[in-house]
Amino acid sequence: MKLDLERIEVDRVVFGQENSFADGVLTIDKEDLLENIRHDHRITSLEAEIVHPGEKVRIMPVKDVVEPRIKVDKNGMFPGFIGKESQAGAGKTRVFSGTAVVTTGNVVGFQEGIIDMSGPGADYTPFSQTINVVLTCEVEEGTEEHIHEEILRILGLKAAHYIAEIGLDVEPDKTESFDFKSIAQARNENNDLPLVGYIYMLQSQGLLHDTYVYGVDAKEILPTLISPAKVMDGAIVSGNCVSACDKNSTYLHQNNPVIEELYQRDGQDYNFVATIITNENVTLGDKERSSTMVAEMAESLGLDAVIINEEGFGNPDTDLILNCKKLEQKGIKTVLITDEYAGRDGSSQSLADAAVEADAVVTSGNANEVIELPAMERVIGHDRYADNIAGGFEGSLQEDGSIRVELQAITGSTDQMGYTKLSAKGY
């Protein structure tokens, strides 16, 4: 399955009287954007602002981040929400590189996060480096939390699709081609190379802990194969409110670095055979079932080794370890990617579960580390939630507007797919 990502490099984004792109400048008709994405009668106010890297701006609480992408034939992007399922993952997809849609407003749950566009906090979030179109959306008082989340989720997807459509008449700056082999091809080519797979764990622990695959809540699925190209076309959408540091926003699913790295080294160091998505469950019985199916599927594919990443911490650590143990017991080598909650001094147990089989682990940082975020000139959203969001505590928000929080509160700071600068070296 071949997918071409046609990238348009963006230097600046501005609001104007009409939609256009020229000389690196993306111009968005703000009023037309807001009119086209206002999709629910419970939205009481909706505003759009633009922030560039380096500005003294804080965005919080952040619900989701989405990269503007659209199929050149207008079908297939975000299947199950906007596009047609049959079209995702093949053909041509136009991308406004360096930009993102960020959704904010009154907090939905308590685990939304912070994006600082400058200062020390900017070093910990990848989204300080994107030009962000920030949507501040408020809903009717009394709207249930899961409905509030859905409203913001759809808002972000619609805005990303609307903005990307501006690029349909623009000549792309470069094209990245991904020609993913079938499982049969991957198994039969370069027979001297090990067969490697990717176990892609999705947050699915219940209400406000949801991830969507083709529009279906992942807790309703069993482990299954998915084309990596479909992931790039928005087949996986974030719908959860787990801790900001390791929540895989929709943007990170679209730009999954594990998939991209496995593709780049395919046929050189190994044969990249398959991507298996699986859920993170609440009950032990459900965890046992899904992990057993993952191990059996990997065994049936003849895999020699897999990479596994989780999303979230605590309860999902058991899913991660069960997957690891059952795969290793079948002779399939595992490498785990996870962050740590090791206490503020780093001396506590890093994961809530462990096993001797988990002997190859890549860390994406300690989410309990405390950081001081200086006051910004402007806050988009509401900084009053600083004491209440995950990673915050009583007194986090200072009188001068500065914030003292754990890295847990910073969006994407310890991303468990490795879209972060943090790691550690074992000795």
Which residues are catalytic, by number? 241
Residue 391, φ and ψ in degrees, nearest 5: 100, -15
Nearest to 411 by CA among 234, 203, 250, 237: 250
Nearest to 160 by CA among 75, 100, 79: 100
Contact 168, 72 (CB under 8 A): yes
Q: Which two tokens stand for residue 221?
A: 């699925």
Task: Quote the radius of gyration of the chain (alpha carbons, Å).
Answer: 21
Residue 60, φ and ψ in degrees, nearest 5: -170, 150
Q: Which two tokens stand for residue 369?
A: 């580390």
DSSP secondary structure of 326-390: HHHHTT-EEEEEEEE---TTS-S-SSS---TT---EEEEEETT-EEEE---SEEEE-GGGGGTSB
Q: Roughly how many angstroms between the first and final C-alpha of the chain, as a whole number?
A: 42
Whole-number Å distance between alpha carbons of 333 and 274 = 15
Task: Find tokens 């065994």 and name the residue.
Answer: 299
Contact 196, 273 (CB under 8 A): yes
Nearest to 116 by CA among 402, 418, 387: 402
Contact 2, 228 (CB under 8 A): no
